[in-house]
């Protein structure tokens, strides 16, 4: 807008029409802290002309809102580009919606939440036609062919060509082989090859030997309280304590697991770094305990990167996508793991829902409360709290173990424990028992019927066609950008 008006001398109304016919806004979060707000004082110092333009746009916009909703002062305050409380701030999401011809979320649930929560006022003003959904996608060229050559070669040999790399729906051709013993054996061999490759990397970089025959349970993503790596490590401690309480004979019946974490925390996100520290300290205790040797291994892999992801994802038997319901916009690591034949353990959130719709709910391990219950549960935490020992004894025992100094001085962990005991915004205590039941179902499915597990793995990969980035880009092209494909000879 500034360039058009100030440098190109385009009249204001014409310039704004050009702007609003040029830009589309893809929203990637419903978390308030991720919807950027920039202090007006910063704008005044660094971008004074831009601030003038924002003020002028806001004045015109709020006049339009007042005409459509006369007397609704609260609505004006909510929709304003300027937040007046706690010091004036520019609401960047509001500005993006105002300056765009389309707005989309990145998964069906997320797009619905965008329309019914954070941008509801804008839907009322502009109409629902401005708001769309385009579910995220991943490229099979990198996230299967490049990172998993063993599985890619098997798929190509089975389907008879590499055409599936450009039309991922062709993977459905694998379905007729999902119960074939010979194909299942080759599928399992590809998974074993990937486990051995990852185990070698871990041995070479960390000097740690891990089993290649255990179940590989992997959670890799940005470290954040809403993504609930905390729930995972609390579950690990519960598993550890449960195994230690068993007899030697009982331990022989336990499904061996290698549980791997990886990911990065924002530099200033202290709680996320405390969660990493807890994972590392739990691993130090578990991995030297003879009571759980060859049954349970826990590692946090440092220096997470795309290259490391390309080793981790193909090796997964089960991956965890366990965000508090209603907080994950979409996620794409869930798609990557499933494309490589790893089964999904998760909450009914983000793209997990659409993955289950495609691959079948019988091939996904769901747990936890649903999105409509979240705010009521948070209200109960605040105004009608129930002692944790009464509400979730299993979790209370885990927190007591953390504060026993087994994993380091108790005082280090008190801030983390208090986030659960006081408020529990991300519903750890509400979902913990359900999470343990889901983990038990995973153990049973993996150990009791290995052939059925392989069938589920094949079925999952075969039904992942929807989640190609090619489909996502075509949807953007057809429904938002209004551009046509050009064939290149």
- Residue 295, pLDDT score: 97
State the Cα–Cα distance between residues 170 and 289, nearest whole angstrom: 47
User: What is the arithmetic mean of pLDDT over 312-325?
Assistant: 98
* Sign, Cα dihedral of 403, 407, 408, 412: negative
The pLDDT tens digits of the residues spanning 6-16 come to 999 999 999 99
- Residue 485, pLDDT score: 85
- Residue 33, pLDDT score: 76
The pLDDT tens digits of the residues spanning 397-449 come to 999 999 999 999 999 999 999 999 999 999 999 999 999 999 999 999 999 99
Percent of the chain with pLDDT over 90: 97
- Residue 394, pLDDT score: 98
* Closest-CA residue to 238 (of 398, 110, 13, 58): 398
Contact predicate 135/106, CB 8 Å = yes
User: What is the arithmetic mean of pLDDT over 65-87?
Assistant: 95
- Residue 123, pLDDT score: 98
Beta strands in 27-136 (DSSP E): 37-39, 82-83, 89-91, 102-105, 131-133
DSSP code, position 324: P
Phi, psi (rounded to 5 degrees) for 259: -110, 120
pTM listed for this prediction: 0.95
User: What is the arithmetic mean of pLDDT over 227-256?
Assistant: 97
Q: How confident is the model at residue 35 (pLDDT cuts 50, 70, 90)?
A: confident
- Residue 486, pLDDT score: 87
The total of other beta-carbon atoms located within 10 Å of residue 133's CB is 19
Q: Which residues are catalytic?
A: 28, 221-222, 227, 332, 336
Q: How confident is the model at residue 201 (pLDDT cuts 50, 70, 90)?
A: very high
User: What is the arithmetic mean of pLDDT over 257-282?
Assistant: 97
The total of other beta-carbon atoms located within 10 Å of residue 313's CB is 25
User: What is the arithmetic mean of pLDDT over 220-239?
Assistant: 98
- Residue 489, pLDDT score: 82
The pLDDT tens digits of the residues spanning 117-136 come to 999 999 999 999 999 999 99
Q: Answer yes or no: is pLDDT of 222 > 90.
A: yes
User: What is the arithmetic mean of pLDDT over 250-272?
Assistant: 97
C-alpha atoms less than 13 angstroms from C-alpha of 371 in its C-beta half-sphere: 15
- Residue 31, pLDDT score: 86
| Summary mean pLDDT of the chain | 97
* Closest-CA residue to 301 (of 208, 213, 365, 194): 208
Q: Answer yes or no: is pLDDT of 246 > 80.
A: yes
User: What is the arithmetic mean of pLDDT over 175-180?
Assistant: 97
Q: How confident is the model at residue 239 (pLDDT cuts 50, 70, 90)?
A: very high
- Residue 225, pLDDT score: 97
Strand partners, 299: 260
* Closest-CA residue to 119 (of 140, 136, 94): 94
- Residue 289, pLDDT score: 98
- Residue 86, pLDDT score: 77
């Amino acid at each position: 807008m500034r360039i058009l008006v100030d440098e190109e001398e385009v009249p204001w109304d014409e310039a704004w029409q050009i702007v609003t016919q040029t830009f589309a806004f893809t929203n990637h979060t419903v978390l308030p802290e991720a919807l950027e707000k920039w202090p007006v004082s910063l704008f005044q110092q660094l971008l004074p002309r831009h601030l003038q333009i924002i003020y002028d746009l806001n004045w015109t916009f709020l006049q339009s809102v007042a005409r459509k909703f006369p007397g609704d002062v609260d609505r004006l305050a909510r929709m304003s580009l300027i937040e007046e409380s706690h010091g004036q701030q520019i609401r960047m999401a509001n500005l993006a919606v105002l300056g765009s011809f389309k707005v989309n979320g990145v998964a069906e649930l997320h797009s619905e939440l965008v329309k019914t929560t954070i941008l509801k006022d804008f839907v009322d003003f502009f109409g629902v036609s401005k708001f769309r959904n385009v579910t995220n996608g991943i490229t099979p060229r990198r996230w299967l062919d490049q990172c998993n050559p063993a599985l890619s070669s098997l798929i190509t040999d089975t389907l008879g060509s590499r055409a599936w790399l450009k039309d991922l729906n062709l993977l459905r051709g694998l379905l007729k082989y999902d119960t074939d013993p010979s194909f299942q054996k080759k599928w399992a061999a590809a998974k074993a090859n990937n486990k051995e490759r990852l185990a070698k990397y871990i041995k070479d970089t960390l000097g740690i030997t891990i089993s290649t025959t255990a179940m590989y349970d992997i959670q890799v993503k940005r470290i954040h309280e809403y993504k609930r790596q905390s729930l995972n490590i609390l579950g690990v401690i519960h598993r550890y304590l449960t195994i230690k309480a068993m007899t030697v004979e009982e331990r022989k019946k336990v499904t061996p697991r290698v549980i791997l974490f990886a990911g990065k925390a924002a530099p200033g996100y202290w709680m996320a770094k405390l969660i990493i520290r807890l994972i590392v300290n739990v691993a130090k205790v578990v991995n030297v305990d003879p009571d759980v040797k060859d049954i349970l291994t826990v590692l946090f892999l440092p220096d997470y990167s795309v290259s490391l992801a390309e080793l981790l994802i193909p090796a997964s038997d089960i991956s965890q996508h366990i965000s508090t319901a209603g907080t994950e916009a979409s996620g794409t690591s869930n798609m990557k793991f499933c494309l490589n034949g790893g089964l999904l353990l998760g909450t009914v959130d983000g793209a997990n829902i659409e993955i289950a719709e495609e691959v079948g709910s019988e091939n996904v391990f769901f747990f936890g409360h649903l999105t409509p219950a979240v705010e009521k549960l948070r209200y109960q935490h605040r105004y009608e709290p129930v002692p944790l020992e009464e509400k979730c004894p299993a979790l209370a025992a885990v927190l007591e173990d953390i504060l026993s100094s087994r994993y380091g001085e108790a005082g280090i962990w008190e801030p983390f424990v208090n986030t659960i005991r006081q408020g529990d915004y991300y519903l750890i205590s509400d979902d913990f028992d359900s999470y343990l039941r889901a983990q038990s179902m995973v153990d049973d499915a993996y150990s009791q019927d290995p052939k059925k597990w392989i069938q589920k793995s094949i079925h999952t990969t075969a039904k992942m066609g929807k989640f190609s980035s090619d489909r996502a880009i075509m949807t953007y092209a057809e429904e938002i950008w209004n551009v046509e494909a050009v064939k290149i000879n």
